[in-house]
Structure 1
Amino acid sequence: MRKKLREFYATGDKRAIFLRAYYVMTTQVNASVHGGNEDFEQPIFFDPEWVDRLAGRFAQLYFQSLEKPACKAWKIAMERAASPHAWSVLQNMVLGINAHINFDLANGVHEFIRKAGEHRDAELMARRKFDHDQMNNVLVRCNPKIQDILGREFGGGMRLFSGVLGKFDELLTSTGLRYYRDRVWCNVLGLLSAKGPDELEKVRLRLEWEAQQVAEFIIDGSWMNKLVYGMDGLLCRKNFQGRFQPDGVGAIHAMGRMGHRLQMPH
């Protein structure tokens, strides 16, 4: 992630926006698994090793979509980031989050559970669901940091909107995140229940269609979307080219552990 962020920052590539937010999320996940963060003094997962490996696979799916978008929602996100007429930090971030959660996550969780045969064990599935839900609390805690970092490095109005909405902003974020991650689990169960390649394809096509619908709504859903993204765009830095700075030594060490396990460049 750090290697790709350095490339994006050096060239002013707006794909840096989602990846910067994703980097913050991933370092927070690593802290929740390995420690090194005041928010996670006690273990919060039943099976932290499973969460750790899943986070690594999840990151690989993102890098695969950088090379070739895995679905229409990713294609929309990448094209929007490349467009000179679409300069909204908030929109770029949300488009990436939509594709990565609503499409990649369900496929990644299904892959892990199916390969290990865990879906045959009801008690183990309940434990996996608990850890899946615990991740919601980890990600909700990222929101203030993401707003601060993206605001500092790219500009935009996220911090302003958050200040205006107050606690309602936190409620919207946590409610939306939990809703879509609950949908992910339902889709995982759909994938696991599929009998044969034809039924599996039906579920995957639904995942792609649903993620595409959300992406299209993000861009053209209502006058409110256009107003918010327009205001956000006015506050964005028109040129963010520069040198990517990691969030700190703890983040570098955590990401280094993940990169070593996956044998990926970092």
Structure 2
Amino acid sequence: MNVSPVAPQPHRKSSSNKVHLHETKAPGDLGPIQLDDVLWNPVDAEQALEGLEKILGRLNERNDSRAIFLDIYAIVTRRVVHLLSAPGAGGFLEPQWLSHLTGRFAEEALIAVRDSLRQLPLPTAAWRFATHYPAAGLTRPFQDALLGVSAHINHDLGMVVYDNIAHQSPPVDTRKMARYRHDYFHVNEILRQCIPECLDLLAERYNCTSTRLALRVPFSRPVMEKAVMQMLIVWRQRVWDNVVGMLEAQSPEEIQAIVERVRTTSGRIAQALTADKAFWLTLRGSAPPFSLTLAPEAWPDVKLPAPEPVAKVTPLAS
């Protein structure tokens, strides 16, 4: 089945019933995670930060590793909110556009985490890796962070930017497109400023042994910061190229081809980030999660709870 990036308002259906993650219990018997009051569909940067911080706090209370990426994401979103409210809007040419885009972009990550908490199967491989692996404790903190960042950039970002630009009325002209491009790449400066805090977060709050050891090597911090930033630059440049490609496409089939390439590429990156886990599973004689068509419950060591059996009703004897 084809997946269109232009489906109107994905994930916007909501239920009036309260939803709790009944299978997740906190230390000290804090009870289930409450999900019904989280702002899952933010419309701007401030609402995005509100939604992120609320679910982030609840995940951290339970030592749930799905919090790690959201904590990284909150650092960046907090910086965006601060700059957009400052004089000159932090150098952005279209601050309202960026704020709206930030809200819509955050919705994708929030919904992915929410659906994983509800134990719903996620349609994209990148987000299955980024949620189920941390939840099952199969990955280290730096991998949890990278898996979330990759899924959000390599899968979500291009779809959100394309959907926003392609459906504006009147259509975006060359001048407006140049301003959007400026703001899109200006975000790189925010990312550059946030990387040191993100590394400290992994090493200190999440006690990531790999990050702590790497930072102890003399002169390693600037090298690590530069390497991470270069990776983000490459990823975000490819995303923008995909956006332009979809906007210039001459047919729905051309757009769909780019969508499928994005889905495959983001999934392959997730596989690469968890290659060490796949290697050890192979040594143990288990099949590594290399097939993107596998449902989450078919992955090694990642098991979703079986549905509770329906009680049979025995008719009363007459």
Q: Does 1:21 align with 2:72?
A: yes
Alignment of 1:246-257 (within 5 A): none
Q: CA deviation at 1:30?
A: 1.1
- The 10-residue stretch of structure 1 (214-223 or 151-160) with the greater mean CA deviation from structure 2: 214-223
Q: CA deviation at 1:162?
A: 3.5
CA deviations over 1:181-208 (Å, ceiling 9, x no partner): 1001001112212344333222111100
CA root-mean-square deviation: 2.4
Match of 1:46, as an amino acid?
L
Residues in 2 aligned to 1:117 and 1:208: alpha-carbon distance in whole angstroms: 28
Residues in 2 aligned to 1:20 and 1:53: alpha-carbon distance in whole angstroms: 21
* From 234, 253, 256, the counterpart of 1:179: 234
TM norm structure 1: 0.76
Residue matched to 2:243: 188
Match of 1:65, as an amino acid?
A
Change (3 A) 1:12 1:201: same
Change (3 A) 1:191 1:32: same
Match of 1:76, as an amino acid?
F
Match of 2:157, as an amino acid?
L
Residue matched to 2:266: 211
* From 31, 48, 60, the counterpart of 2:95: 48
Residue matched to 1:141: 193
Task: Name the SS of the counterpart of 1:32 in structure 2.
Answer: helix
Residue matched to 1:130: 182
- Do 2:150 and 2:270's aligned partners in 1 also have CA atoms closer than 8 Å? yes
- Do 1:103 and 1:211's aligned partners in 2 also have CA atoms closer than 8 Å? yes
- Do 1:33 and 1:52's aligned partners in 2 also have CA atoms closer than 8 Å? yes
Q: CA deviation at 1:170?
A: 2.1
Residues in 1 aligned to 2:146 and 2:194: alpha-carbon distance in whole angstroms: 14
Alignment of 1:66-145 (within 5 A): 66=113, 67=115, 69-84=122-137, 86-117=138-169, 120-145=172-197
* From 104, 110, 118, the counterpart of 1:63: 110
- Do 1:74 and 1:96's aligned partners in 2 also have CA atoms closer than 8 Å? yes
TM norm structure 2: 0.64
Larger radius of gyration: 2
Match of 2:83, as an amino acid?
S
- Do 2:89 and 2:95's aligned partners in 1 also have CA atoms closer than 8 Å? no
Q: CA deviation at 1:42?
A: 6.7
* From 135, 146, 168, the counterpart of 2:223: 168
Change (3 A) 1:18 1:160: same
The count of residues paired between Structure 1 and Structure 2 equals: 220
Residue matched to 2:83: 32
Match of 2:58, as an amino acid?
E
Change (3 A) 1:61 1:118: farther
Residues in 1 aligned to 2:171 and 2:177: alpha-carbon distance in whole angstroms: 6
Residues in 1 aligned to 2:212 and 2:160: alpha-carbon distance in whole angstroms: 32
- Do 1:54 and 1:108's aligned partners in 2 also have CA atoms closer than 8 Å? yes
Residues in 1 aligned to 2:263 and 2:206: alpha-carbon distance in whole angstroms: 30
Q: Which has the higher contact order (CA 8 A, sep 6+)?
A: 1
Residues in 2 aligned to 1:19 and 1:115: alpha-carbon distance in whole angstroms: 28
- Do 2:142 and 2:202's aligned partners in 1 also have CA atoms closer than 8 Å? no
Task: Name the SS of the counterpart of 2:91 in structure 1.
Answer: coil
Q: CA deviation at 1:79?
A: 1.7
Residues in 2 aligned to 1:80 and 1:92: alpha-carbon distance in whole angstroms: 8
